[in-house]
Amino acid sequence: MPRESGTAVVAGVPVDTRHWIGGERVDSAGTFTDLSPIDGSELAEIARGTATEAAAAVAAAKAAFAGWAATPPAERARVLHSIADGVERRLDDLAIVETTDNGALLRSHRRGVMPRVAHNFRFFADWLLTLGHDDFETRGHTNHVDWDPAGPCVLITPWNAPLMLATWKVAPALAAGNTVVLKPAEWSPLTASLLADIAAEAGLPAGVLNIVQGYGAEIGDALTSHPDVRRISFTGSVPTARRIAASAAPQLTPVSLELGGKSPLLVFADADLDLAVDLAVEQYDNAGQVCLAGTRLLVEEAVAEEFTRRFTEKASALRQGDPRDETTDIGPVIHTRQLEKIDGFVRRAVSAGARTVIGGQPRGGNFYAPTLLTDVAQDSEIVQEEVFGPVLTLQTFTGEDEAVRLANDTRFGLAATLVTGDRERADRVSAQLVAGTVWVNCFFVRDLQAPFGGSRQSGVGREGGTWSFDFYCDLKNTVTAPKGWQDRG
């Protein structure tokens, strides 16, 4: 007999496990089981959507679009601020549910991630009210630019930072006057459901935000191929992005794709080595499940031995364990399948000649030891492919030209981190790196008004600030002649 979705109690917090469509909870004929990566326990039976629920969600978004698009920007902004208020009121609930669901550190969720969720709504609400372009003249004619809402948007989000990355898309799409169908990742769907409750309590009209759950092959394809969808934004893997692009192509639906990375972290001999080591060890954050992570450590040969010694000492002191414990530095990876994938990368690399400096093996359950590999070839799988786990490689270089060549020698171009004490070198090298974001003597400093996205196979398009509105809107230029008006005086 099939198991039923309904309401699950996760870490003491009730979570509705049905879809949210047109302002109502909607069940499906089937379910899928959501497991906690912390201990493998069953958290909930989640409504398993199909093309039927996809069609219903898009229809609800389409029906609600005209009303929300016509809502004055100030009122849209007020509702988004109200959603942010709701996030802040339920911050502890959101934090513990997401930690239980995806294994990231509870302290990070409480102190950084969930406050950022609220900030996503506040930022785009405020940016909406400043959005504009000065009128300009062409041979006496006036040009006026408008950002018109595009229509229903499908947003497909990953499991590594579920709510933060979902609201990074939801907030600007709603601010722009669009309606939304959000499909969270099936490995971490729970906080998206809580967002539906928060949005409804904030007064967001029915159908403006719809949330459907399920597998990509069963519901995702039906969403991305739907002729009434006007925008698709996806964060995830390159293979899935190819499927989405192919699915959207017949309708010419614009897509924004934020994909994988194999980012370099370059350390020059003139760098502050303590800073460089701190930044390198930080790449193990969220058990290495961060698309922006600088997983390829490129260290100038003159300081490589000392860097490796300090790195090994600091990384070996990291505490791995239950992410709900305040003293834990690294939690589990998201799923047994992800752990097996990570371990496969490491085993193949070692078989090919790589040397393990630290780690290199599972630690029971979904825990994988923080790992550093050296003696790796530039064209090897471990250097060229995204592992998405706590696995770093270390290579050396002897000068700027070699550093830049190694840094740029993958099919990705999402981010890069550069550590140097020479400001002119920082400028020279940064200018040559192929990346959507370059950090110099810092890491993961992100401002929502900056463009975000990747080059090469790390993505298509940019979002953030006005760039988000450029994507989620149809830009219109109205050109008005100076003559031809009737005199009504």
Show which residues are catalytic: 258, 291
Burial class (CB in 10 A: 0-12, 13-18, 19+), 274: exposed
- Asked if residue 255 lies in contact with residue 378, where contact means CB atoms within 8 angstroms, the answer is no
Block residue for tokens 């490796």: 308
**Exposed, middle or buried, 60 (CB in 10 Å: 0-12/13-18/19+)?**
buried
Handedness of CA 478, 482, 484, 489 (dihedral sign): positive
Q: How many residues does the chain have?
A: 489
Nearest to 284 by CA among 370, 360, 359, 363: 370
Q: Are strands 264-267 and 296-300 parallel, antiparallel or unpaired?
A: parallel
Q: Which one-letter amino acid corresponds to residue 64? A: A
Q: Are 230 and 252 in contact (CB under 8 A)?
A: no
Q: What's the Rg (C-alpha) of the chain?
A: 24
Q: How far is 31 from 18, CA to CA, in rounded Å?
A: 9
CA distance 327 to 174: 38
Structure token pair of residue 455: 């080059």
Tokens matching residue 333: 């990876």
Q: Are 19 and 212 in contact (CB under 8 A)?
A: yes
In whole angstroms, give the CA distance from residue 46 to residue 30. 8
DSSP 237-274: -HHHHHHHHHHHGGGT--EEEE-----EEEE-TTS-HH
User: Who contacts 201 (Cβ-Cβ below 8 Å, separation ≥6)?
Assistant: 86
Report how far Cα 141 is from the mean position of its chain's Cα atoms: 43
Tokens of 359: 């780690």
Cα–Cα distance, 480 to 466 (Å, whole number): 24
Q: Which residues contact 337 (CB under 8 A, 6 or more apart)?
A: none
Report the 10 Å Cβ neighbour count for 456.
15
Query: Residue 79 is inside which H or E element, if any?
Result: helix 73-89
Q: At what angle do helices 114-130 and 91-102 cross, to 10 degrees?
A: 120
Q: For 207, what's the count of Cα atoms within 13 Å in the CB-facing half-sphere?
A: 16
